Amino acid sequence: DHGLSEADPEVSSIIKKEKERQFKSLELIASENFTSRAVMEAVGSCLANKYSEGLPGKRYYGGNEYIDELEILCQKRALAAFHLDEKKWGINVQPLSGSPANFEVYTAILNPHDRIMGLDLPHGGHLSHGFMTPKRRVSGTSIYFESMPYRLDESTGLVDYDMLEKTATLFRPKLIIAGASAYPRDFDYPRMRKIADAVRAFLMMDMAHISGLVAASVVANPFEYCDIVTTTTHKSLRGPRGGMIFFKKDPVLGVDLEIAINNAVFPGLQGGPHNHTIGGLAVCLKHAESPEFKAYQNQVVSNCRALANRLVELGYTVVSGGTDNHLVLVDLRPLGIDGARVEKILDMASITLNKNSVPGDKSALVPGGIRIGSPAMTTRGFKEKEFIAIADFIHEGVQITIDAKGLVSGSSKLQEFLKFAVSSDFLLTDKVS
Residues near ligand PLP, by CB under 6 A: 31, 97-99, 126, 128, 179-181, 206, 208-209, 232
How many Å apart are CA 95 and CA 269, to the nearest integer?
Answer: 9
Q: How far is the CB of 330 from ligand PLP (least distance, A)?
A: 18
The answer to whether residue 193 is catalytic is no
C-alpha closest to that of 338 among 365, 317, 360: 365
How many Å apart are CA 92 and CA 234, to the nearest integer?
Answer: 16
Q: How far is the CB of 25 from ligand PLP (least distance, A)?
A: 19
- For ligand PLP, the closer of residues 74 and 418 by Cβ is 74
- For ligand PLP, the closer of residues 159 and 208 by Cβ is 208
The answer to whether residue 241 is catalytic is yes
Element (DSSP H or E) covering residue 81: helix 65-81
Q: How far is the CB of 119 from ligand PLP (least distance, A)?
A: 9
Chain centroid to CA 390: how far?
A: 22
How many Å apart are CA 74 and CA 418, to the nearest integer?
Answer: 49
- For ligand PLP, the closer of residues 207 and 318 by Cβ is 207
The answer to whether residue 151 is catalytic is no
Q: How far is the CB of 129 from ligand PLP (least distance, A)?
A: 7
Q: How far is the CB of 406 from ligand PLP (least distance, A)?
A: 34
The answer to whether residue 232 is catalytic is yes
Which of these is catalytic: 71, 206, 324, 331? 206
Grouping H, G, I as helix, E, B as strand and the rest as coil, residue 373 is strand
The answer to whether residue 17 is catalytic is no
**Which residue sits closest to ligand PLP, CB atoms considered?**
98
How many Å apart are CA 393 and CA 388, to the nearest integer?
Answer: 9
Q: How far is the CB of 114 from ligand PLP (least distance, A)?
A: 20
Contact 176, 147 (CB under 8 A): no
- For ligand PLP, the closer of residues 128 and 356 by Cβ is 128
How many Å apart are CA 431 and CA 79, to the nearest integer?
Answer: 46
Q: How far is the CB of 41 from ligand PLP (least distance, A)?
A: 22
Which of these is catalytic: 32, 53, 160, 425? 53
Grouping H, G, I as helix, E, B as strand and the rest as coil, residue 227 is coil
Chain centroid to CA 116: how far?
A: 20
Contact 282, 76 (CB under 8 A): no
Which of these is catalytic: 241, 286, 294, 333? 241
How many Å apart are CA 374 and CA 47, to the nearest integer?
Answer: 32
What number of residues does the chain have? 433
- For ligand PLP, the closer of residues 246 and 316 by Cβ is 246
- For ligand PLP, the closer of residues 99 and 317 by Cβ is 99
Contact 174, 116 (CB under 8 A): yes
**Integer-rounded Cα radius of gyration of the chain:** 22
The answer to whether residue 249 is catalytic is no
Backbone angles phi, psi at 140, to 5 degrees: -55, -35
Which of these is catalytic: 185, 235, 238, 341? 235
Spatial CB neighbours of 400, under 8 Å, sequence gap ≥ 6: 345, 410, 414, 415, 418
In Å, how far are 40, 173, 356, 358, 361 from 155, measured between CA atoms?
A: 44, 26, 18, 12, 13
- For ligand PLP, the closer of residues 102 and 167 by Cβ is 102
**Could you give the residue numbers annotated as active site?**
51, 53, 206, 232, 235, 241
